[in-house]
């Protein structure tokens, strides 16, 4: 029997859901809350934002599975066991869902959704001139498992897409750029900027006041990467002064977003509660079980994280 210590970052209300999904494939598995004393016998931890220091207390641990595609929540724990392999989820369901969210917020901006909703409230039947979006330049920062799907979807909608990443990715069907100079070029030459980067030491505080001011006047910023990649007050200022047309945000430096945060008062900033792509137990449980079985057989688990690159 494989004991799995589970923590979903909230109240563990989804523990039974995950357990039932696992049992459909592998009967010899048992789930227990990470905070339970019994968890110290667990060989596997399936977690999101676990309490700091808790994983180090699990002396029989052989594998850590992140409950999402991001793993930055794990690096916050300085006592994280360095010898334990970490896997992240790579799921076409999540990539598809996030690409839909990007399309939804982007098209809502380009087709003046906010304006027409305000007119509806006033019962005013009024038209704006439609933007010409054919071949519009769009920069996608981060073209991994999720970003590449988003970029391809945008390309299929006739946007002119350029993806940016730390290293060149093979076999992609859109233009790619790498390196700092290319990042600066994309910032200055694209009207739409979409951040889907993992949070690492090199991407933290990447979008600063200087970067926002280098974007073309009227540019639009979309972030489903991580909140810590953005200087939030600089973004707010760029929107309020009119340099940026607005922003759509699914992630924030502090979550839940505090009720006193000034973003709430800015109508040109669309706020989403980190729901662009939610983990689906049904579609990811197989890769988790495959990784558990691989570790038990002394093999390398799938989707393993490089602790140096931090993703």
Catalytic site positions: 226, 274
Rounded CA separation 267/247 (Å): 10
The pairing of strands 175-178 and 192-195 is unpaired
Structure tokens at 185: 């070029």
**Residues with Cβ within 8 Å of residue 203, at least 6 apart in sequence:** 197, 225, 226, 229
What DSSP designation does 92 have?
A: H
Q: Which residue has the tokens 């989804």?
A: 14
User: Residue 172: how many CB atoms within 10 A of its CB?
Assistant: 16
Q: How far apart are the first and last CA of the chain?
A: 30
Judge whether 229 and 195 are in contact, CB under 8 Å: yes
For the four alpha carbons of 218, 221, 227 and 231, in that order, the dihedral sign comes to negative
């Amino acid at each position: 029997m494989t004991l799995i210590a589970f923590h979903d970052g909230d109240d563990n209300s989804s523990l039974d859901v995950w357990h039932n999904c696992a049992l459909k494939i592998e009967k010899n598995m048992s789930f227990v809350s990470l905070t339970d004393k019994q968890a110290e016998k667990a060989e596997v931890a399936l977690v999101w934002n676990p309490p700091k220091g808790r994983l180090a207390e699990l002396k029989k641990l052989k594998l850590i599975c992140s409950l999402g595609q991001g793993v930055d929540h794990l690096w916050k724990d300085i006592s994280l066991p360095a010898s334990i392999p970490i896997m992240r989820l790579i799921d076409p369901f999540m990539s598809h869902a996030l690409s839909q969210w990007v399309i939804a917020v982007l098209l809502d901006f380009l087709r003046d959704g906010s304006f027409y909703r305000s007119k509806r409230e006033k019962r005013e039947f009024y038209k704006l001139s439609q933007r010409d979006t054919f071949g519009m330049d769009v920069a996608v920062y981060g073209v991994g498992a999720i970003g590449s799907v988003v970029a391809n979807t945008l390309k299929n909608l006739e946007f002119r897409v350029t993806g940016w990443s730390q290293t060149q990715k093979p076999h992609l069907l859109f233009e790619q750029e790498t390196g700092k100079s290319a990042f600066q070029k994309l910032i200055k030459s694209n009207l739409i900027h979409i951040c889907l980067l993992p949070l690492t030491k090199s991407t933290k505080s990447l979008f600063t006041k200087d970067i926002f001011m280098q974007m073309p006047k009227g540019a639009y910023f979309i972030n489903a990467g991580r909140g810590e990649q953005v200087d939030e007050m600089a973004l707010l200022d760029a929107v309020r002064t009119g340099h940026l047309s607005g922003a759509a945000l699914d992630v924030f430096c502090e979550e839940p977003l505090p009720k006193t945060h000034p973003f709430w008062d800015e109508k040109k900033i669309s706020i989403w509660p980190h729901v662009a792509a939610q983990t689906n137990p049904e579609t990811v449980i197989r890769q988790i079980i495959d990784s558990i079985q691989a570790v038990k057989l002394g093999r390398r688990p799938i989707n393993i994280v490089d602790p140096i690159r931090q993703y």
